[in-house]
Amino acid sequence: MKISFVLPGVSRVPVGGYKMIFEYANRLCRRGHDITLIFHCFSGMNRNQHIPKFVKLLYYYFGAYYFPTWFTLDSRIHKICKYKKLIDSELPDGDVICATAIDTAYEVAETASSKGKKVYFIQDYENWNGWTDDKVRKSYCLGMKNIVIAKWLQKIVKSAGADSILIPNGIDFKVFDVDIPISQRTKPIISMLYHKDEHKGSKYGIEALRRLKTKYPALQAILFGTPARPKDLPDWIQYIQNATQEQLRKIYNQSLIYLCPSIKEGFGLTGAEAMACGAAYVASDYGGVHEYTVEGRNVLLSAPKDVDGLINNISRLFDDEKKRIQLAENGYKDIKVLNWDDSVIQFENVIKEIL
């Protein structure tokens, strides 16, 4: 089958949502499908008005073919960059065309039938960047086949008056696995994703780490993210910018605990990756965490923005090695249900049903 994925611009740095689409693209390509990635840069062209238009044109044109440098795409995958509204004459004909974000949903819904049956891959409730709740909910009712990655998103789509198919994200267990046995990790190391967006809750996680350092002087922390190192980050905290998958595997394997202080998250991919590498998981109750965890069995949860709750849960694991090992081992076993082969087969079946 000929399948096109329409993404909202290029991805210069690691982004979880893009990573999922790239995984599907690679795996579907290996299964014999003809895959095209359409980088729809229209919204990006309208942002950052202080940057000359020709500079942005050059950036997106070359960026579409150069990026992603942080993820290896199958060389057989086609890549196209579009700077204006999607025009049917400039899009490849195919069997399926898939919107991957609110920024692409409305335009994909209007493409000609020759471009393929329309699918909407929903990874979060995207009421940001000027998109209102009303417009987001209406995007689920555009007549496309809705696929969601989480049960809580499925409920929202249903409340908007539309149906959806649930296909959980997969984890590549060849990339993320245990190298340092869980029971042999002794250094008090905590790892965490840093992000500037308020809903990622990074400031609450960093505050928890500051206070834990006083309680546990030997504490080490490793943060990773796409922005530059925060200027106010304590010197004792290590920071890795634009970590590769190999670096992430090493970080997770060094960690006793992976901390996720998010306020709102569609799924929480890094938490699942860390569990696959044997880190005990401590998180805020950000919603999507329930897609792959069970409180008390493979994660310790506290309310979003509750710094004391994060500190208490981390302290429980630092002070009780048996509990930490049990939580991490349960997480390592339980996360195996997120199998990429199953997700790709489900995706294929959805496509076959609508053709």
Distance CA 193, CA 196 (A): 10
pLDDT of residue 60: 72
Distance CA 138, CA 161 (A): 9
Residue with tokens 């049956």: 117
Encoding tokens for residue 184? Answer: 């042999």
Cβ contacts of 322 within 8 Å, gap of 6 or more: none
pTM of the model: 0.90
Q: Which fold has domain 2-170+339-354?
A: Rossmann fold (3.40.50)
Per-residue pLDDT of the chain (355 residues; tens, 9 = 90+): 999 999 998 988 899 999 999 999 999 999 999 999 999 987 665 666 677 877 767 777 777 788 899 999 999 999 999 888 999 999 999 999 999 999 999 999 999 999 999 999 999 999 988 999 999 999 999 999 999 999 999 999 999 999 999 999 999 999 999 999 999 999 999 999 999 999 999 999 999 999 999 999 999 999 999 999 999 999 999 999 999 999 999 999 999 999 999 999 889 999 999 999 999 999 999 989 999 999 999 999 999 999 999 999 999 999 999 999 999 999 999 999 999 999 999 999 999 999 9
pLDDT of residue 45: 58
> What is the location of CATH 3.40.50.2000 in the chain?
2-170+339-354, 182-337
Distance CA 71, CA 10 (A): 12
Instruction: Write down the architecture of domain 182-337 according to CATH.
Output: 3-Layer(aba) Sandwich (3.40)
